[in-house]
Amino acid sequence: MCRILIGERILEYRRRHGINQRKFGEMLGVTSQAVSKWERDVCCPDISLLPELAKILEVKIQDLFK
Protein backbone atom coordinates (compact mmCIF):
# COMPACT_ATOMS: atom_id res chain seq x y z
CA MET A 1 0.00 0.00 0.00
CA CYS A 2 1.28 3.46 -0.90
CA ARG A 3 0.39 6.20 1.56
CA ILE A 4 1.04 9.87 0.90
CA LEU A 5 2.11 11.81 3.98
CA ILE A 6 1.68 15.57 3.66
CA GLY A 7 1.52 16.54 7.32
CA GLU A 8 5.21 17.38 7.61
CA ARG A 9 4.98 19.74 4.64
CA ILE A 10 1.86 21.45 5.98
CA LEU A 11 3.65 21.96 9.30
CA GLU A 12 6.79 23.28 7.61
CA TYR A 13 4.97 25.77 5.36
CA ARG A 14 2.62 26.89 8.16
CA ARG A 15 5.54 27.63 10.47
CA ARG A 16 7.39 29.49 7.71
CA HIS A 17 4.41 31.82 7.51
CA GLY A 18 4.24 32.24 11.28
CA ILE A 19 0.66 30.99 11.47
CA ASN A 20 -0.38 29.00 14.54
CA GLN A 21 -2.66 25.98 14.29
CA ARG A 22 -5.67 27.84 15.67
CA LYS A 23 -5.40 30.69 13.14
CA PHE A 24 -4.68 28.29 10.28
CA GLY A 25 -7.74 26.25 11.21
CA GLU A 26 -9.89 29.38 11.33
CA MET A 27 -8.66 30.39 7.88
CA LEU A 28 -9.75 27.00 6.53
CA GLY A 29 -12.94 26.61 8.57
CA VAL A 30 -11.66 23.68 10.63
CA THR A 31 -10.50 23.24 14.22
CA SER A 32 -6.94 23.46 15.48
CA GLN A 33 -7.33 19.78 16.41
CA ALA A 34 -7.95 18.94 12.75
CA VAL A 35 -4.79 20.82 11.75
CA SER A 36 -2.85 18.94 14.44
CA LYS A 37 -4.11 15.60 13.09
CA TRP A 38 -3.06 16.55 9.56
CA GLU A 39 0.41 17.54 10.72
CA ARG A 40 0.82 14.25 12.59
CA ASP A 41 -0.49 12.34 9.54
CA VAL A 42 -3.32 10.89 11.64
CA CYS A 43 -5.63 11.97 8.83
CA CYS A 44 -5.50 14.15 5.73
CA PRO A 45 -7.30 17.37 4.90
CA ASP A 46 -10.37 16.99 2.74
CA ILE A 47 -9.45 17.28 -0.92
CA SER A 48 -11.80 20.26 -1.27
CA LEU A 49 -9.56 22.22 1.15
CA LEU A 50 -6.35 21.75 -0.83
CA PRO A 51 -6.71 24.78 -3.14
CA GLU A 52 -7.32 27.18 -0.23
CA LEU A 53 -4.67 25.48 1.92
CA ALA A 54 -2.09 25.90 -0.85
CA LYS A 55 -3.16 29.51 -1.42
CA ILE A 56 -2.72 30.40 2.26
CA LEU A 57 0.69 28.70 2.37
CA GLU A 58 1.67 30.28 -0.98
CA VAL A 59 2.62 26.96 -2.57
CA LYS A 60 1.31 24.83 -5.41
CA ILE A 61 -0.88 21.90 -4.40
CA GLN A 62 1.69 19.50 -5.82
CA ASP A 63 4.35 20.96 -3.49
CA LEU A 64 2.43 19.46 -0.57
CA PHE A 65 2.97 15.98 -2.01
CA LYS A 66 6.72 16.14 -2.69
In a domain, 13, yes or no: yes
Q: Which residue range is the domain that position 11 belongs to?
A: 7-65
Residue at 22 is within a domain:
yes
pLDDT in tens, the chain (66 residues): 445 689 999 999 999 999 999 999 999 999 999 999 999 999 999 999 999 999 999 999 999 988
Q: Is residue 1 part of a domain?
A: no
Looking up residue 61, the CATH number of its domain turns out to be 1.10.260.40
With respect to residue 2, please indicate whether it lies within any of the assigned structural domains.
no
40 Cβ contact partners less than 8 Å away, ≥ 6 residues apart: 7
DSSP state of 17: T
Q: Which residues does 28 contact at the CB level (< 8 Å), separation at least 6?
A: 35, 45, 49, 52, 53, 56
Count of domains observed in the chain: 1
